[in-house]
Amino acid sequence: MAVSSMHIRCNSVPSAPHPVVSEHEEHLRRLKDSSSLSSSSVSHKLNGLLDLHDCTDKLLHLPIKQQDLARECSDKCVNGLLEVSLRILDICITAKDCLLTSKASMHKLQSVIRRRRGDRTGFTIEAGKYLDSRKKMKKTIRKALGDLKAMKSESVVSSSDKDHVTFSMLSILKESEEVTVTLLESLLLFISEPKGQSKQIRWSAMLKLMQPKRVACDSQESQTNEFEKVDAALRSLINDKPSTIENFQSHMENLEMCIQDLEISVEQLSRKLIRTRVSLLNIFNH
């Protein structure tokens, strides 16, 4: 559903959208505008999503929008909105858990390097644990990506629906839902470092929304994010390929900063999603 194609239903001359609706549209445009996203960081895009949800919440507190939403939604529609909000929150929890697991495993590895410099055996053991943790995490993420794919399929709106859903609160909620699902999908792909042929396909779409943060990359490195750099450097050290502990630690420091930024943004997104869910419950329970 393209936001730019919407218009307000009116018995006479169409009125202008509410200023917050226009603000919501602008945030959507920025999130979807591929021409301005290639140099943006993951955290920047998540911050844009937070701004979008702030607009959504503002609209949910407008009496006229509350009345419109209550009038538009059947019981089935209400249940659908509330169910999707829970499913998106579950994905946020999964993302947070994956980030926390990555950080904890990384700290253990850093501790081994600091305390046992030169201890090849200790480093190899802890490195193996880190990579095993990554494998388990990727399995969790694959399941979450499957859930997101199902949600994207379920959220498709038919052309006939588009004619009747304009600048309504329902359409705004649907737009917010769709872009949130897309961005969470990209975030999980960013964390999990997909391999194989599908990786290039996914990266081409993902890089329209996200780019690695803080590390300057040349054209060849631009397809590699902080998680992947740490994994690659770690495997090189384990297999005695040309690499240095110092180079590996540099990648780890960059990854730690990246994780910290993502943790903060995902936590804030979770809170905003909860706030929106509470607003919906209040509207439908009155």
Report residue 16 as tokens: 């202008």
What are 109's two structure tokens?
């590895």
The pLDDT tens digits of the residues spanning 17-72 come to 678 888 888 888 888 764 433 324 567 889 999 999 999 999 999 998 888 888 88
**Nearest by Cα to 190 from 218, 209, 217:** 209
pLDDT tens-digit profile of 101-147? 999 999 988 888 887 666 777 888 888 899 999 999 999 999 999 99
CA–CA dist 159, 12 (Å, integer): 24
Rounded to an integer, the average pLDDT of 169-196 is 85
In contact, 192 and 137? CB cutoff 8 Å = yes
Measured from the Cβ of residue 144, the count of other Cβ atoms closer than 10 Å reads 21
Q: Please enumerate in sequence order all residues whose Cβ is within 8 A of that of 247, keeping only pairs 6 or more positions apart, or say none.
A: 233
Tell me which residue of 181, 166, 172 sits closest to 279, measured CA to CA. 172
pTM for this one? 0.78
